[in-house]
């Protein structure tokens, strides 16, 4: 059973701080990794993808991947109240047509 | 929403009745998925499709069936709805079984 684990939160950070969201996965053969953001009552939307070890930056978001430790994280710099949402980690192992495996998500609350 | 439409957006039905949810895409993506989302459980895959008439079960497929007779349409049927199937249902599409794009969701209540 391939698993993706996230702390459910809530993770509360003050406005302007760095929010750090973490995800671990069980399948060592996993090849690609995604972060989705889901606002309350809305559908998930893709915000970051990462395929290689190291950091990938996109605006205020940085995804970090460490395949040896089976760990992927999302950093949100200068957190804003509008970043308050649930963040879902998803992992793809490229095993035939097997779909992505999603974590249950971490709820982030940015306090103004 | 990436050319993906779910219908209906809301539905209330009674226990024991069949229900069909529709997902329609205009993106010509090969992969289509049905998820349900419940508090404490996250997104759970019901069924998915990797081509016309090619479907497979997900982790919570009992009580659900799907059909895909055209690239653009993926139907989810609850054969005999139960209260445990009250949930928010999301359809998603993907070109290469990687980056998923989600529809707006269907809120289903089974009374």
Among A33, A44, A93, which would you mutate to test the B interface (most chain B Cβ atoms within 10 Å of its Cβ)?
A: A44
- pLDDT at residue B51 in the model: 93
Which residues of chain B neighbour A103 with C-beta distances below 8 Å? 42
Cα A99 to the chain's mean position, in Å?
17
Q: How far is CA B93 from CA A72, A88, A106, B20, in A?
A: 24, 17, 23, 18
What pLDDT, in 10s, does the model give residues A16-34?
999 999 999 999 889 899 9
Residue B38 bridge partners (DSSP): B42
Q: Is residue B79 over pLDDT 90?
A: yes
What pLDDT, in 10s, does the model give residues A52-108?
999 999 999 999 999 999 999 999 999 999 999 999 999 987 666 788 999 999 999
What pLDDT, in 10s, does the model give residues B19-62?
999 999 999 999 999 999 998 888 999 999 999 999 999 999 99
Distance from CA of B51 to the nearest CA of A (A): 10
**Angle B9-A108-A86 (CA atoms, 0-180°, nearest 5)?**
25
A1: nearest CA partner in chain B: B59
Mean pLDDT of chain B: 95
Residue A88 bridge partners (DSSP): A36
Q: How far apart are CA A64 and CA A77, in angstroms?
A: 13
Residue A73 corresponds to which tokens in the numbers above?
Answer: 């994280």
- pLDDT at residue B1 in the model: 53
- pLDDT at residue A2 in the model: 76
Residue B74 bridge partners (DSSP): B23
Q: Is residue B2 over pLDDT 80?
A: no
A105: nearest CA partner in chain B: B42
- pLDDT at residue A98 in the model: 80
Residue A64 corresponds to which tokens in the numbers above?
Answer: 């970090």
């Amino acid at each position: 059973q391939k698993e993706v684990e996230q702390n459910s939160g809530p993770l509360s950070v003050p406005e302007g701080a760095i929010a750090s969201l973490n995800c671990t996965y069980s399948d060592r053969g996993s090849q690609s990794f995604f972060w989705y953001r889901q606002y309350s009552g809305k559908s998930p939307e893709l915000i970051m993808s990462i395929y290689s070890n190291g950091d990938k930056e996109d605006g205020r978001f940085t995804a970090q991947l460490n395949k040896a430790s089976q760990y992927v994280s999302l950093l949100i710099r200068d957190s804003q109240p509008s970043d308050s949402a649930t963040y879902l980690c998803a992992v793809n192992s490229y095993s035939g047509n097997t779909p992505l495996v999603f974590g249950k998500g971490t709820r982030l609350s940015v306090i103004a | 929403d990436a050319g993906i439409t779910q219908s209906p957006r809301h539905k209330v039905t009674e226990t024991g009745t069949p229900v069909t949810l529709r997902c329609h895409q205009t993106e010509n993506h090969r992969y289509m998925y049905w998820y349900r989302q419940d508090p404490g459980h996250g997104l759970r895959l019901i069924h998915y499709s990797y081509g016309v008439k090619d479907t497979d079960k997900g982790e919570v497929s009992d009580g659900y069936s799907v059909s895909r007779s055209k690239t653009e349409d993926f139907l989810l049927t609850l054969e005999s709805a139960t209260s445990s199937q009250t949930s928010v249902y999301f359809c998603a599409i993907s070109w290469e079984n990687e980056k998923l794009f989600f529809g707006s969701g269907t809120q289903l209540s089974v009374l």
